[in-house]
Amino acid sequence: MKRFLDSSILVEACLSQSPKFARADALVNEPDAVTSAHALAEAYATLSGDARLRLPPADAVRMIEDLAKGMTVSALGAADYRQLISSAPGRGIRGGAIYDALHAQTARRCRCQQLHTLNVAHFKHVAPDLTVVGL
């Protein structure tokens, strides 16, 4: 079964001290795990920018590269971005919810049966058609 993993899952899979690490790591290592190029960038931003983690950016890069090696990484094209942004007001999508909508659209394009996240509530509105699973 194809499972889309958003950036919150990717971050947890990099933090071995996290209580959610084992479940996130198992998801990342499944053979049909899918993520987006955008999720990799978000995960890098969190890993390298969250002062609580105290991770050097070079370590964050290595973590992201390790994740990407074992997963299918998909990217939407410029036309997909334009279409999603153009449809956002009519769908009630505003602010940072556009990023969740990007993840959801990538999951749809990759024909994922599930979308995994720590932020289930964020996807209720932008992905009512997808099975969203919390960690």
List, for residues 52-83, the tens digit of each pLDDT value: 888 999 999 999 999 999 899 999 999 999 99
Domain count, the chain: 1
**Do the Cβ atoms of 6 and 41 come closer than 8 Å?**
no
Burial of 37 (0-12, 13-18, 19+ CB in 10 A): middle
Separation CA 5–CA 103 (nearest Å): 9
- Pairing state of beta strands 33-36 and 72-74? parallel
Separation CA 69–CA 73 (nearest Å): 9
Q: For 94-119, what is each residue's pLDDT tens digit?
A: 999 999 999 999 999 999 999 999 99
Name beta bridge partners: 33: 3
SS3 at position 127: coil
Domain that holds residue 88: 3-134
Entry pTM: 0.93
- What CATH number does residue 116 fall under? 3.40.50.1010
Q: For 17-54, what is each residue's pLDDT tens digit?
A: 999 999 999 999 999 999 999 999 999 999 999 888 88
**Do the Cβ atoms of 34 and 115 come closer than 8 Å?**
no
